[in-house]
Amino acid sequence: MSTRKDNSGQPAHTRAVMFDLHATLAGFRPHSGPPDAENVSKLLRDRGLSVSPQAWTDAWVQIRRFDYPRYGYPNWERYINRAFEIVHASPGDAAFGKVVSLYQNTRWNPLPFAKEAVRRAKRLGLKTALVTSVARFWFEKDTRNVLDNIDFVVDGNTFHCDKSGPEVYLRTLKALKVRPGEAVMIGDELEGDVLIPARIGMRAILLLKGKPSWEESRAIGAQVTASDLRRAMDIVEAWTNRAS
């Protein structure tokens, strides 16, 4: 396991750790995850509206990647209203309210060791950030006991960009006042949580959901992996102690 070095060639001190949200710090409660596009499409079809599952999915992707970062909708009503605008559908109040309630019933649970992982980072003297593309209004209430120990919460609207590019990390580093080599990102998605941070000089730890496929193994390459959040924090602590 190599230690990232600063411009002087000396080992960089670990000063900050960033966490992904979904499948890293929190997951959906059993039987309360977001409705899939098939269910939404059927609900609307039963009420006389033709919106295909693919159209609804595409609208959701557009909102998450472009519209929410740009406009920062404050609640599900505004978020869902934008989805209907994209698919060119005009539901009545009853249908609109039913779709909103499906999403409002989505609830989050902090994952095992999530709260302790963030506290452990603080005990190590590290700055902490949550970096996600998920709308803050969706997860904030259910994950408050984890967020209490997060110094800086970043969602898609914070810097008007999602995690599909490096800008969100560059802006978060600037807000935390640390250099890329001084920060670690922990997450479960290879591209957004690991490869993009690594390209700008950050260290990153990929949480493996299971045994990677052959293609995933090739893509992971030299990236650091951990079986769960506890092991990831063991690695962060080792890096912190090594450079101290």
Three-point CA angle 178, 14, 162, nearest 5°: 55
Q: Is residue 8 part of a domain?
A: no
Query: To the nearest whole percent, how much of the chain has pLDDT over 90?
Result: 83
Task: Please state the rounded mean pLDDT for residues 25-50.
Answer: 95
Please tell me the total count of domains within the chain: 2
pLDDT at 220 over 90: no
60 and 20 share a domain? no
57 and 123 share a domain? no
Among 104, 126, 152, the domain-final residue is 104
pLDDT 10s digits, 36-46? 999 999 999 99
Q: Is residue 57 part of a domain?
A: yes
| CATH number, domain with residue 186 | 3.40.50.1000
Among 76, 104, 132, the domain-final residue is 104
3-state secondary structure string across 126-161: CEEEEECCCCHHHHCCCCHHHHCCCCEEECCCCCCC
Residue 10 — pLDDT band, cuts 50, 70, 90?
very low
Q: Where are the beta strands (DSSP E) in 78-134?
A: 108-110, 127-131
Task: Please state the rounded mean pLDDT for residues 158-167.
Answer: 95
Cα dihedral: 219, 110, 240, 129 (round 10): 90
Q: Sheet of 16-19: strands edge to edge?
A: 152-154, 127-131, 16-19, 183-187, 203-207, 224-226
Residue 102 — pLDDT band, cuts 50, 70, 90?
very high
Three-point CA angle 203, 156, 164, nearest 5°: 50
186 and 88 share a domain? no
Q: Partners of 205 in the beta sheet?
A: 186, 224
pLDDT 10s digits, 185-198? 999 998 999 999 99
Among 84, 104, 124, the domain-final residue is 104
41 and 118 share a domain? no
Judged by DSSP in three states, 173 sits in helix
Predicted local confidence at residue 211, as pLDDT = 64
Exposure string for 156-193, b = 16+ CB within 10 A, e = fewer? bbbbebbbeebebbbbbbeebebbbbbbbbbbbbbebb
Q: Is residue 127 part of a domain?
A: yes
Predicted local confidence at residue 213, as pLDDT = 63
Exposure string for 118-130, b = 16+ CB within 10 A, e = fewer? bebbeebebbbbb
Q: Is residue 10 part of a domain?
A: no
Predicted local confidence at residue 12, as pLDDT = 73
pLDDT 10s digits, 50-76? 999 999 999 999 999 999 999 999 999
Q: Domain of residue 84: give its range.
A: 37-104
225 and 114 share a domain? yes
Q: Is residue 3 part of a domain?
A: no
Q: Is residue 89 part of a domain?
A: yes
42 and 131 share a domain? no
185 and 139 share a domain? yes
126 and 230 share a domain? yes
117 and 228 share a domain? yes
22 and 141 share a domain? yes
Q: Is residue 233 part of a domain?
A: yes
159 and 48 share a domain? no
Residue 6 — pLDDT band, cuts 50, 70, 90?
very low
Q: Is residue 5 part of a domain?
A: no
Residue 20 — pLDDT band, cuts 50, 70, 90?
very high
141 and 226 share a domain? yes
